[in-house]
Structure 1
Amino acid sequence: KRILCFFILCFLQKCPEFTDLNIGNALSGTKLRVQLLLYTRENPDCSERIIEHNVTASEYLNTTKKIVFVIHGFRPTGSPPAWLGDMKKFLLSSEDINLVIVDWNRGATTVNYITAVENCRKVAEILKNYIDQMLVDGASLDSMYMIGVSLGAHIAGFVGQKYNGRLGRITGLDPAGPSFTQEPPEQRLDPTDAQFVDVIHSDIDALGFKKPLGTIDFYPNGGMDQPGCPKTLFSGLQYFKCDHQRSVFLFLSSLKGECDIITYPCDSYLDYKRGKCVDCDAFQPMSCPVLGYHADRWKKLLIPNSSSTKAYFDTSDKDPFCMYNYLLDITTWNKSVRRGFIKVKLSDYAGDTVESEINSEASTFQQYKRVKILAGFHRDIEKIAKISLTFSTKTLIGPKHKLRILQMKLKSLNNPKRMQLCRYDFVLMENTELTFKPIPCSEKSP
């Protein structure tokens, strides 16, 4: 009897876990079942399953604190999301919250994507039942925050609709495109679904949603072909999911606090790359919005009921994904028009060097016309000792050209208070690197 009691006690004390299924379940299909797993700083490693019709029985739920729901998407293989552990860990370390993992793996695990899409409305209805009880127990819609991944983003939107947009915030991490792209606002995530809706679009040419869906919509690297992701089918499953999942890992990066991913409100990625939208002067004193968990700090600067703001930025190919951007402002005095690329290298006093990523589009240099070029670096150099510039037309035949520079100005975008650096009256010979010591720009420099 003692042994039997011991095993019963162990079973009762076992931590509820996210449903772990397999490809067999996906092939046979799964019937929708939703469980809510609660984590707090008091139980960070062992979840508490919230009872559907008796939410108030929870031991750890504190309705005076923010309640954050994390909602996954389509699960064609049935396994728990690879990012789930880090999401839990870093959300709890960032803020003292109630973290609710919405597990609808039974219902999302199927090879029939349409079935999972149809279950989204049902999941939203179930979530509303839980939330209604939380509200009775003292919770506030203002302090509710939903983070939805792919299909989960639309589920969050459906929940927000049910409360007429009074939820505090929804974050959509690459909201699903298939089956939603042609749908009207009420059939998908929409800017009116919460008081603040921020969306990261990382796979707009395949699994994600291209058009703006939020109060502010972020498009890393233009929204597709993320750095470090496979480019061919030979990479297998990663080819299909890497771009789509990058939105999640970018969000996680914002929770780790290693660096801020700064973004730039702009009409298009091309305008951003041309350096047309990198000052954020209109948004002072808050400056440019940052990506991820702290994006809502920027909402105070937005005009109520205004159209969606699109923000663009580039990233590196691995965590923490931050780029350090500089604006290269050049005025040339060639009589003939020149088209080409300029590569920038920065060196510090110890000889450490970083090299810029070259823009995919050539710049056009005309006499006495200013050209702005965005130069991104994977690492930051705080005190620049030398600047190296290389001009190239990328043509293999024909004469080598010169680019006559009247003025060059280099400005840090990540740290705009840093001194701007200048150089005047010099010539770049094509494909020949020129290295020089910059000087502080004069106050009269345009």
Structure 2
Amino acid sequence: MLNPILILGCIGLELVSANILLTPENCFALKSDECPNWNISFWLHTNDNLEGARFTENDKFLPGRKLHVLIHGFAGSRTATPNSQLLPLLTLDKQADVLSVEYTNLAVDPCYSEAVHNSRIVGRCLANLLLSANADLSNAHLIGFGIGAHVAGFAAKLLQALSVRVKRITALDPAKPLYLTDDITGRLDKSDADFVDVIHSDVFFHGILMPLGHVDFYPNSGIAQPGCGDIHNMATYQCYHKRSADYYAESITSPVGFFGFYCKDMISYMKYECQPSDHIEQLGYRTRPTARGSYYLQTKDVAPYANGIDFSNVDRNLTGKTYLGDAFVAMLLTQPHK
């Protein structure tokens, strides 16, 4: 049986927006944006406490420490992606705090449209907590997966309205359904932080293709991640989506790194109008804050995925099927290849 979100995609974005689908009884959209909210909790992890402890508006961050904030996606939790990949590695730093955002009840499968609505309020409550807990946002790094990437953006927008700016946001395959808009108040945007880096790994289904950050990386064209399985299996698309977090996690300790080469856009990439010799940047934890533009790379089929500075196996052909009313992706599929 297909996952309900696949059905959402097949009937088109306009139907999702109109809430035409039946809503199960356990789906709900928050009617109040008041914080704190009992559906949203925060957990602080350190090198001394990997399991984490509840963290509330009455707690305070210790000064002088790095802060990473991990934000899960649709149908996720604080023990799922990206936490499962990143938490063990980020807490190796004894001078770092890692804050997990838990909003499982507000993003239950198949309640996608409600989760999108709720994501703004999760962002608001995260912003409130960071302010009340005296977070040093000039040294803060928000890392969001799927819907969580937009939660990071909403939190940062609210902080910015109070003249407080976040240092960095990393978006791991930011969600596409109901976020495919030119209105930057309704999604993550590069203006939300001093530096926004994005990894696109499933742009035909869960993720958004258009560049959202100062720098955007498209491993394996951002489409089919090798080694994930049959394209007719829903688990394959989940694998594509989660690979963004897998690649980021590996980048923290990789001896060779994930390097991509610059192209001005996907069409230029497909038409061979850019070459690896032009200029390169490294994806992930070590991405330079001065990096700008879109970068393309190929990975290995199994971990360790990083290829280093090796572009010999780059495949620029785009094949597949698009969902969710993404006209730009549909147009790309009609473009002639070299």
Q: TM-score, normalised by structure 2?
A: 0.76
CA drift at 1:289: 1.6
What is the CA deviation profile of residues 160-185 of structure 1, one whole-angstrom value per residue up to 9, with x for unaligned ones?
11122710000000000000112511
Mapped to 2, the partners of 1:166 and 1:79 lie a distance apart of 25
CA drift at 1:264: 1.2
Partner of 1:47: 52
Q: Contact 1:94 / 1:255 at 8 angstroms: preserved in 2? A: no
Please, which runs of 5 or more residues in structure 1 have no aligned partner? 1-25, 282-287, 303-307, 328-355, 362-446
Q: Contact 2:72 / 2:81 at 8 angstroms: preserved in 1? A: no
Mapped to 2, the partners of 1:94 and 1:263 lie a distance apart of 27
Q: 1:279 to 1:38 in 2, by over 3 A?
A: same
Aligned runs of 1:338-349 on 2, under 5 Å? none
Mapped to 2, the partners of 1:161 and 1:360 lie a distance apart of 36
Partner of 1:162: 158
Please, which runs of 5 or more residues in structure 2 have no aligned partner? 1-23, 31-37, 318-338
Partner of 1:254: 251
Mapped to 2, the partners of 1:358 and 1:157 lie a distance apart of 32
Mapped to 2, the partners of 1:82 and 1:197 lie a distance apart of 19
Partner of 2:261: 264
Q: 1:325 to 1:258 in 2, by over 3 A?
A: closer
Mapped to 2, the partners of 1:95 and 1:251 lie a distance apart of 20
Aligned runs of 1:46-125 on 2, under 5 Å? 46-52=51-57, 54-56=58-60, 61-75=61-75, 80-81=79-80, 84-94=83-93, 96-125=95-124
2:281 to 272, 285, 289: 289
Mapped to 1, the partners of 2:314 and 2:257 lie a distance apart of 22
Q: Contact 2:46 / 2:98 at 8 angstroms: preserved in 1? A: yes
Q: Contact 1:150 / 1:174 at 8 angstroms: preserved in 2? A: yes
* Partner secondary structure for residue 102 of structure 1: strand
Mapped to 2, the partners of 1:181 and 1:272 lie a distance apart of 22
Partner of 2:210: 211
Partner of 2:41: 35
Aligned runs of 1:43-442 on 2, under 5 Å? 43-44=49-50, 46-52=51-57, 54-56=58-60, 61-75=61-75, 80-81=79-80, 84-94=83-93, 96-135=95-134, 139-164=135-160, 166-233=165-232, 235=233, 237-268=234-265, 274=272, 276-280=274-278, 288-295=280-287, 298-300=288-290, 309-325=293-309, 357=313, 359=315
CA drift at 1:79: 9.2
Q: 1:260 to 1:115 in 2, by over 3 A?
A: same
- Which protein has greater RCO, CA pairs closer than 8 Å, 6+ apart? 2
Mapped to 2, the partners of 1:128 and 1:312 lie a distance apart of 33
What is the CA deviation profile of residues 173-211 of structure 1, one whole-angstrom value per residue up to 9, with x for unaligned ones?
000000011251111000000000000011111110110
CA drift at 1:142: 0.8
Q: Whose Rg is larger? A: 1
The letter for the 2-side match of 1:55 is: D
Point out the more displaced range, 204-213 or 271-280.
271-280
Partner of 1:333: none
* Partner secondary structure for residue 91 of structure 2: helix
* Partner secondary structure for residue 118 of structure 1: helix
Mapped to 2, the partners of 1:49 and 1:75 lie a distance apart of 21
Matched length:
282
CA drift at 1:134: 2.4
Q: 1:85 to 1:245 in 2, by over 3 A?
A: closer
Q: Contact 1:259 / 1:320 at 8 angstroms: preserved in 2? A: no
Q: 1:359 to 1:99 in 2, by over 3 A?
A: closer
Q: Contact 1:36 / 1:49 at 8 angstroms: preserved in 2? A: yes
Q: 1:289 to 1:75 in 2, by over 3 A?
A: same
